[in-house]
Amino acid sequence: DTEVTQTPKHLVMGMTNKKSLKCEQHMGHRAMYWYKQKAKKPPELMFVYSYEKLSINESVPSRFSPECPNSSLLNLHLHALQPEDSALYLCASSQVIGGRASSTDTQYFGPGTRLTVL
């Protein structure tokens, strides 16, 4: 089973709202990722968690706040977003081989949350 689930599927929010995206996997993967994908573009990496610790923040604005409560869950807290933040937000996970996450680990993506900021 290589399933990553994400909720909600769709989210519409105003610029003053606070919302959260959720991601879950039960494959025993110890690396989890958030990506942002605009229409007709490849996914762009935002954050990487390895063993529940933030390993990479790709210079993402502070209005996006990730959280990894345990090895199966990943959240993305949203606050004071801008209309240009509207996109498909993808979660992915990968097995950590050799005790350290690596770009040679296979990443499995969830279905995404379609976010619209009004």
Partner 1 sequence: GENVEQHPSTLSVQEGDSAVIKCTYSDSASNYFPWYKQELGKGPQLIIDIRSNVGEKKDQRIAVTLNKTAKHFSLHITETQPEDSAVYFCAASAPSGTYKYIFGTGTRLKVLA
Binding site for partner 1 (CB under 8 A): 2, 4, 6, 31, 33, 40-43, 45, 48, 50, 55-56, 88, 90, 101-104, 106-112, 114
Shortest Å distance, C-beta 16 to partner 1: 28
Cβ atoms of 114 and 47 closer than 8 Å: no
Q: Angle at the Cα of 46 (from 18 to 103), degrees rounded to 5?
A: 150
Cβ nearer to partner 1, comparing 16 with 39 = 39
Closest CA to 95 of 29, 5, 2: 29
Cβ nearer to partner 1, comparing 80 with 88 = 88
